Chains A and B, each alone.
Chain A
């Protein structure tokens, strides 16, 4: 079965500290992985993606993610958190089943709270 797991419902960090939001996946074949962010009462916004190539992917707003095939993980990271980074973060993987077209399978989301 194809799935995405975000093991933490909430991550709390202090402003200026590094942050990590965890994601593991289960798919058949090579994964296409994504991170999205949702601010309150807004739609999801794309942050970054891994398709192939370098395992360290850089995205918007200073975020990056590390793809680890052996651990089937795609953790989101940022060296120095900002209060404005507080939001709901979703990890997603492309659904490789033919009948689902190009739809994404989303994790349950992780709430990031950055304190000043």
Chain B
């Protein structure tokens, strides 16, 4: 059982380049999230999805776009990368929004460096 898989694990970009991070989960979870982790700042929510075909903005959405065309996949895109987007990105998922159901399952992370 793979859980939540993120690809790629590492990537180096130049300023202005674009890229997509892929998150795949095999647990039939409805809700999926993208967070970024920066030193001393904890995890901050970028975008999230409450089901196939839906997306919504989180705390720090600027510079990112997302898509959830299939229930099992949640893509995070950077159209024009900036050094401020250097971070570790985590995808997470959970089964539903029922009270007490917020046990998020996290991927291993994707480390992105923008030069």
Q: Which residues of B contact A34 (CB under 8 A)?
A: 102-103
Q: Do A101 and B104 contact each other (CB < 8 Å), given the known contacts A106-B43, A108-B42?
A: no
- Asked if residues B90 and A102 are in contact (CB atoms below 8 Å), the reply is no
Q: Which of B12-20, B64-72, B76-84, B93-101 contacts A (4 or more CB under 8 A)?
A: B93-101
Q: Which residues of A contact B115 (CB under 8 A)?
A: none
CB-contacts of A26-84 with B (<8 A): 32, 34, 36, 41-46, 49, 51-52
The size class of the interface chain A forms with chain B is: 20 to 34
- Asked if residues A102 and B102 are in contact (CB atoms below 8 Å), the reply is yes
In the assembled complex, A22 has its CB within 8 A of some CB on chain B: no
- Asked if residues A49 and B43 are in contact (CB atoms below 8 Å), the reply is no
- Asked if residues A99 and B43 are in contact (CB atoms below 8 Å), the reply is no
A51 to B109, CA, bound (A): 27
- Asked if residues A51 and B43 are in contact (CB atoms below 8 Å), the reply is no
Q: Do A44 and B106 contact each other (CB < 8 Å), given the known contacts A32-B99, A99-B56?
A: yes
A94 to B103, CA, bound (A): 10
**Closest Cβ of chain B: how far from A38's Cβ, in Å?**
9
The size class of the interface chain B forms with chain A is: 20 to 34
Among candidates A32, A90, A99, residue contacting B42 with C-beta atoms closer than 8 Å: A90
- Asked if residues A42 and B108 are in contact (CB atoms below 8 Å), the reply is yes
Chain B CB within 10 A, most for which of A45, A49, A104, A109: A104
- Asked if residues A103 and B100 are in contact (CB atoms below 8 Å), the reply is no
Q: Which residues of B contact A32 (CB under 8 A)?
A: 99-100, 102
- Asked if residues B104 and A108 are in contact (CB atoms below 8 Å), the reply is no
Q: Which residues of A contact B40 (CB under 8 A)?
A: 9, 108
A52 to B96, CA, bound (A): 18
- Residues of B at under 8 Å CB distance from A? 4, 31, 33, 35, 40-45, 48, 50, 56, 58, 90, 92, 94, 96-97, 99-109
Top 7 A-B pairs, shortest CB-CB distance:
A43-B106, A51-B100, A108-B42, A106-B43, A102-B97, A106-B42, A44-B106
- Residues of A at under 8 Å CB distance from B? 9, 32, 34, 36, 41-46, 49, 51-52, 90, 94-95, 99-109
